Amino acid sequence: MTRLSVNINKIALLRNSRGGNIPDVVQFAKDCELYGAQGITVHPRQDERHITRKDVYALKDVVSTEFNIEGYPSPDFLKMVNELKPAQCTLVPDAPGQLTSDHGWDTIKHQSLLQEVIAELHANKIRVSLFIDPVNNLIEAAKQTGTDRIEFYTGPYAEHFLADKKNAIKDFAAAGKFCNEINIGINAGHDLNLDNLKYFQQNIPQLLEVSIGHALVRDCLYLGLENTIQLYLRELE
């Protein structure tokens, strides 16, 4: 079964819009785990517009499943990750102030940077995943960095799913097959939801983990958190 990691950035964004501690980000993470989520994901950004550094440290003390910290490998980000030693660190190529992650690494151009960062994280026994587009030469270069996994940026898949799902999945299915051939783990995330999740998983053999936040939080507003977690897990069975 593919594991479900819940990205809780949007809960922090809602809290920050009003001040105080409602909703409680830490409690929300604990509830996600209680209702069956197999991981918690956070993506702290420089401006702390949602998840803050303080949140990340607080969550490390309570997350009992897999903790995944995403972010650009700036010195302050790496310092935090190496101190906390989460189960996984997902490296993303976001520019400062970027609204959301919308492309993967150029693993050829940034080969030496990524090799250095991944070696540092591995020294602290942290599994590493690289956010990437479904392009074989980029995946092959990712393998050469020493990363344990890649995480497919699935925004284009979600964007074109309703119009033509077979064409939308084509590049990802081919890239997923290549990942399996060269023995690199596969994660996925961005705009996956209850409509498109099962089809993606069915076409990506050995998909290890999906990270879902925005759509899952939206569904919680209508369906409730416990029910929503169960619905996503059902899609991944």
Catalytic residues: 43, 70, 190
To which residue do tokens 């993967």 refer?
104
Beta strands per DSSP E along the chain: 3-7, 39-42, 66-71, 88-91, 127-132, 149-153, 185-189, 207-212
**Pairing between β-strand 207-212 and β-strand 3-7 as defined by DSSP bridges:** parallel
In degrees, to the nearest 5, what angle opens at C-alpha 118 toward C-alphas 212 and 152? 30
Q: Distance of CA 202 to CAs 2, 39, 207, 235, Å?
A: 10, 21, 9, 10
Q: Computed from CA positions of residues 44, 143, 126, 216, in that sequence, does the dihedral angle turn out positive or negative? A: positive
- Report the distance separating Cα 92 and Cα 211, nearest Å: 13
In degrees, to the nearest 5, what angle opens at C-alpha 205 toward C-alphas 203 and 210? 85
User: Residues with Cβ < 8 Å from 213, sequence gap 6 or more?
Assistant: 6, 7, 8, 9, 10, 41
How far, rounded to the nearest angstrom, does the alpha carbon of residue 163 sit from its chain's CA centroid?
A: 25
Element (H, E) at 120: helix 111-123
- Report the distance separating Cα 28 and Cα 62, nearest Å: 11
